[in-house]
Amino acid sequence: MVGRWARDIAYALLRLGWNARWEDIRDEFIKNKHLYPQASDFLDREDRGETSASGSWPNMAGKFGKHSTTSKLKDKDSQKIFRHLDGNRKKNKGHWELLYYDMGWDDEFVCPEHLESDVIGNYHCNPKVSRFLIGFDFPDEPGDVYLISNPAWKGWLKCGKAGSVSSRLSSYQTGSPHRDYEPEFSRYFLDCGAAEKRAHRLLRARATNWDHEWFEISLSDAKAILRSL
């Protein structure tokens, strides 16, 4: 689940047709406060004069900056949900563009009318942005999301997707002289690509460390994540 600020920004951009100026986003918050819990709470405190200089509206970019491609944080802390297109990001000038919206961010998601989108699994993707550039090159096909281990990397698990786990495991074994990759767990999904993306996001949040598809995490925690999808 993304932070509430990121969700509010993303939903506003979705309702505004994928991109908008910061002023338009703020106006959307004001006109439809019931749709934006975090923004509404801030606006109410601002009206009462309860916000500090460090909590002023222009500085709110810091609250959701890690969800933007302008982020300076480490990749493992960054969810690239939207991006700043021009102007001064720190003062929220210029335009923001939404890359995708995960319907799972809302308990009761209501898709805006006349929205043009590329629906992939649980995601509404910006039709102007290639899914390959933002990490959505997953097949719309059934398959397994799996966990495998290797004693050479104790405490680490690889999470991947495959139409056949046994075939995929066999391909890994050819690269190991000890043939010591072990299947630990797998779960079948109608859209294994979308499920893998959700699994990776949750694993990154829980893991002690990670590198691409490898995660330093206990098997019980990793299994629980796959079962929760």
At 8-62, the pLDDT tens digits run 888 999 999 998 888 898 899 999 988 888 888 877 777 776 655 444 454 554 5
> Would strands 156-162 and 82-84 be described as parallel, antiparallel, or unpaired?
unpaired
> For residue 108, which of 29, 37, 187 has the smallest C-alpha distance?
37
Most confidently modeled range among 51-60, 69-78, 161-170, 204-213? 204-213
Q: What is the pLDDT of residue 22?
A: 81
pLDDT over 70 (residue 150): yes
Measured CA to CA, the distance from residue 71 to residue 12 in angstroms comes to: 20
Question: If we measure between CA atoms, which residue out of 200, 68, 189 comes closest to residue 136?
Answer: 200
The answer on pLDDT for 117 being more than 60 is: yes
Mean pLDDT throughout 112-139? 68
Question: Is 176 strand, coil or helix?
Answer: coil
Residues of the chain above pLDDT 70, percent: 76
Question: Residue 169: pLDDT above 70?
Answer: yes
Higher pLDDT, 27 or 192: 27
d(CA 184, CA 219): 8
Average pLDDT value for residue range 98-104 = 84
Please, are residues 141 and 164 in contact by the beta-carbon 8 Å criterion? no
Above 50 in pLDDT, residue 138? Answer: no
Is pLDDT above 70 for 71? no
pLDDT of residue 54: 44
* DSSP symbols for 6-48: HHHHHHHHHHTTSEEEHHHHHHHHHHTGGG-HHHHHHHHHHHT
